[in-house]
């Protein structure tokens, strides 16, 4: 830092076993999260935009606003695709007596 000696950083902790105490700062933004628009999410799920809105309101998909666009995280979308059952009547499970 330009040859300036920095003060010792202890953060209220004591070193143990000859280790060092370090601080790490990470800067992340929502733009760093892989995401698609809500319209694209509806297309990928094969449902209407209204259904995507329902899933968002129920907390079944993660989303945020980017200006005027609603963005849906790809991770929550992929999890929904993996967990979703097919439409129609559930299969009968044979009862074993």
Q: Is the dihedral of CA 63, 53, 89, 87 positive or negative?
A: negative
Contacts of 93 (CB under 8 A, 6+ apart): none
Q: Please tell me the distance from the alpha carbon of residue 48 to that of residue 34, in angstroms, as a whole number.
A: 22
23-77 pLDDT tens trace:
778 888 888 899 999 999 999 999 999 999 999 999 999 999 999 999 999 999 9
- Other CB atoms within a 10 A radius of the CB of residue 35 amount to 23
Q: Which domains does the chain have, with CATH numbers?
A: 32-82 (1.10.10)
pTM over 0.75: no
* Interval 4-16: pLDDT, tens: 777 766 667 777 7
Instruction: Determine the Cα–Cα distance for residues 33 and 27; give it in Å rounded to an integer.
Output: 13
């Amino acid at each position: 830092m330009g040859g300036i000696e920095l003060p010792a950083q202890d953060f209220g902790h004591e070193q143990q076993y000859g280790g060092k105490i370090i601080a790490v700062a990470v800067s992340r933004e929502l733009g760093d999260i892989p995401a698609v628009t809500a319209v694209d999410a509806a297309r990928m799920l094969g449902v209407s935009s209204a259904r995507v809105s329902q899933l968002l309101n129920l907390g079944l998909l993660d989303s945020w606003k980017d200006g005027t666009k609603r963005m849906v995280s790809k991770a929550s979308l992929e999890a929904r695709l993996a967990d979703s059952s097919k439409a129609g009547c559930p299969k009968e499970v044979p009862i074993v007596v």
